[in-house]
Amino acid sequence: MTPPRFHHVAIQTTDLDNSVSWYEAFLGCRQAWSLSEFSELTRSRLPGMSRLTELVVGSERLHLMERAGRPAVNPSESVVQFQHLCLSVGTAEDLVTLRRRWFELFESGRYAFALSEQPTEVVVDSDGVQSFYAYDPNGLELEFTCIPPVTERER
């Protein structure tokens, strides 16, 4: 059997246009396709879903699904969910650039954010891996990391 591999990450949003625009501006995603008609299976699993757009950045795919729902949960509350999505970048400077871009987009006023929590500082762990955390417009946590070529974990 060929081992399974990830095809896409699906993100539920109550404002598809806001989310698509933010991901395009923040990560440089491009739209691949959109749907507004769904199979019976999809409608039964995700009642009220109205639109779906696939975004592509590099070889990664995000499926943004517009569906009425609750606001984001306060990060201090514990719920069973995927905790965060981690995206790796090539250099430590890429982390600084992405963090700066997050602030620029937040302060622009062009996007609605479910949470106003600011990104963390870039931190470096004991084996040289650098990262920071930030929330997308829907209140979903994203981690951005830069892993040096050789780390203690790989030895």
The confidence score (pLDDT) of residue 69 equals 77
Distances (CA, A) of 144 to 17, 92, 96, 123, 138: 23, 10, 10, 11, 17
Whether residue 96 is found in the same domain as residue 54 = no
Whether residue 91 lies inside any domain: the answer is yes
Whether residue 75 lies inside any domain: the answer is no
Domain count, the chain: 2
For every one of its 155 residues, what pLDDT tens digit does the chain have, with 9 covering 90 and above? Answer: 988 888 999 999 999 999 999 999 999 999 999 999 999 999 999 899 999 999 999 999 999 999 987 766 666 676 656 778 999 999 999 999 999 999 999 999 999 999 999 999 999 998 899 999 999 999 999 999 999 887 455 54
The confidence score (pLDDT) of residue 74 equals 67
Indicate the residue among 66, 94, 113 that finishes a domain: 66
| CATH value at residue 33 | 3.10.180.10
Whether residue 52 is found in the same domain as residue 107 = no
pTM of the entire predicted model: 0.86
Whether residue 44 lies inside any domain: the answer is yes
Range of the domain at 42: 9-66
| CATH value at residue 141 | 3.30.720.110
Whether residue 102 is found in the same domain as residue 149 = yes
Distances (CA, A) of 154 to 8, 95, 147: 26, 22, 11
The confidence score (pLDDT) of residue 81 equals 64
